[in-house]
Amino acid sequence: MLEVRNLSVEIHGKPILDGLDLTVRAGEVAAIMGPNGSGKSTLSYVIAGKPDYDVVSGEVLLDGENILELSPDERAAKGLFLAFQYPVEIPGVVTMTFLKATMNAQRRARGLKEMTTPDFIRAERAAADRLNIDQEMLRRPLNVGFSGGEKKRMEILQMALLQPRLAILDETDSGLDIDALRIVADGVNALRDKERAFLVITHYQRLLDHIKPDTVHVMSKGRIVKTGGPELALELELNGYRDYAADAA
């Protein structure tokens, strides 16, 4: 489903990704682990289309189509979702309004009819209940004054409503206590199916106790340096990133 080929990326002339290759198949949950500064977040931003990054070479294929020339909203319409490490606050914009606007924008882009308000409320209630999100929270401005855990749950709620084909979770576990972590993981697991792929970016093994990956990639200095099964994550937990940092240095 996702194929990243020889991707090199710079920001303000400084190289961040260096000939990165990565393949994620439909139905797969792939984890990317790596030390701070290895380029994990940059990879997620470049796939999602954040400006300010210069792609020096390479391709990002989604279902065989190079999406690097597409705007972020066009990529979203193709089923790409990024759960942000630091979800952005939008003052004055009621969360409910935002959710409905995004769902309908994607539906329009796919040539579908817009959702009616009752249909939207039904979908939103069901998804929010599963994530233990109070309706009152959805009447507040998006992410404004939300705790770290609330922000992350809100990201997963949006993912559940938008039903992406490829979801990238960027350090979704950071700042979560163990209960919140379980709720978030349950939300992700509920969406797992053979048509949908996940790219789970994390620094720590603990998220992967709850979201069992099929594949684990280790990233260092802007490229994937090792690929293996879930056991690789455990090994990292034991030995840390020392080997990889040294290897790349």
Using the rule CB under 8 A, is 112 a contact of another protein? Answer: no
Should residue 111 be labelled a site residue for another protein when binding is judged by CB under 8 A? Answer: no
Closest to 172 measured CA to CA, from 53, 82, 110: 82
Residue 48 engages another protein in binding (rule: CB under 8 A): yes
Rounded Cα distance between 213 and 150, Å, is: 24
Contact 52, 236 (CB under 8 A): no
Q: State yes or no: residue 92 binds another protein (CB under 8 A).
A: yes
Cα separation of 135 and 175, whole Å? 23
Q: Which stretch binds another protein (CB under 8 A): 27-35, 69-77, 131-139, 193-201?
A: 69-77
Which residue among 13, 14, 51, 145 contacts another protein (CB under 8 A)?
Answer: 51
Instruction: Decide: is 73 part of the binding site for another protein (CB under 8 A).
Output: yes
CB of 230 to another protein, least distance (A): 29
Residue 241 CB, nearest approach to another protein (Å): 28
Using CB under 8 A, which of 52, 136, 177, 193 touches another protein? Answer: 52
CA separation, residue 129 to residues 36, 44, 60, 164 (Å) = 34, 28, 35, 20
- Contact, 215 vs 227, CB < 8 A? yes
Task: For residues 23 and 43, give the distance between their C-alpha atoms in angstroms, rounded to a whole number.
Answer: 13
Handedness of CA 37, 39, 44, 49 (dihedral sign): positive
97 binds another protein (CB under 8 A): yes
Note the residues at the interface with another protein (CB under 8 A): 48-52, 71-73, 75-77, 81-82, 84, 87-88, 90-93, 97-98, 101-103, 105-106, 109, 141, 158, 162
